[in-house]
Structure 1
Amino acid sequence: MDRHLLPWGTPPAERADAARNRVLLLATAHEMLAELGADALTMDALAERSGLGKGTVFRRFGTRAGIFQALLDDTEHAFQEQVLSGPPPLGPGAPPLERLVAYGRARARFLLDNHAIARSSLDSRQPVAAGSRTSQVHIRMLLAQLALRDADTDMLAVQLTAALEGPLLLYLPADDLQHVDRQANRLADAWQDLVHRLFDH
């Protein structure tokens, strides 16, 4: 069971009004994204649509990219549950190499399905992160189970995570993102090829 290895704990307690505002803002942001597209989802527009003050929106998200970071996090829960307790090979029960392949394939699909959110979550004013902390921890766990001789599994996990997460979208031409199924399959196949070339000896 992986649950103790992944940093998905109970979030800090919120005041009741803050919790209501968070739920309202995320629901409103999801609605706007579906109806109007990512370009129309701004701090001002979200404040107006939700009926909350601009200060409330700013305190909750900080930046426009913060809105999309929160949306991306909100969409991850079902994916995380599949990793934690879903059927193998994505969930527990399969050999680590199979799980590593399955994780990358599923993550590529998730990223492309949510490419508008993931791409908009990248903040040009901040350093580009190597990827989600959750992915790093999970990949590092699987690498440790592979018992790689003399490998720096911490840095390897960072590098492999960077191949799966939001920054990857910076390298895909916008035209490619119009063909989600094709690009998701290509990314998943490339990930599987990479993992087997590195670790299947």
Structure 2
Amino acid sequence: MRLRTIQIVLWSAALAATAAFSIWKLQEPPAPAVLTETEFRPVFSLPDEAGQQRGSAEFRGRYLLVFFGFTNCPDVCPTTLSEVAQVMEDLGSDAGQVQPIFISIDPERDRALGIDDYTAAFHPAILGLAGDQVATAAAASSFRIYFEREEDDAAPDGYTMSHSPGLFLIGPDGQWLRQYAYGTPAEDILSDLKERF
């Protein structure tokens, strides 16, 4: 009889634990959806210096190297654009398969300074785009990048820009393929691109 009582107690405890676990699981928030590659097709629609609207769909069939920055950037932007320029040079006859794009996160000032002159100083193939604040924010949101104005008395005009430093590779179908971290050498980017052609 004593053994039977112990079994009943243990069985009841197991049932109670199972019920408690089930209730806890029901209260648990749903797991975040796993981001699949097909769900990440970043887009932009911004004017070039001539005022012509340029959109991501225009470049279907080519790889895009997209970088967000600003012309008064002292280090990250010129370093990254120098790497992009080297990639374009080293691609040789394959350069037509890649369109490098520089999207300004400080569009008003960059338009005044001349975004074409800035990008051309690195490589003539780099297309500079500078829209209004709304279009810039929409492009940044689509690429999931961060940028913000920061007051700085030592900087030109008393401010600088903080931003995500990654270089994005978009496929010919508009699909996000990867992000190159800041400081990725041109030869590594070139090698990755050539494997995709």
Same fold per superposition (TM over 0.5): no
Higher normalized contact order (CA 8 Å, seq sep 6+, divided by chain length) = 2
Could you say which structure has the higher strand fraction? 2
**Structure with greater Cα Rg:** 2
Could you say which structure has the higher helix fraction? 1
State TM-score, norm by structure 1: 0.26
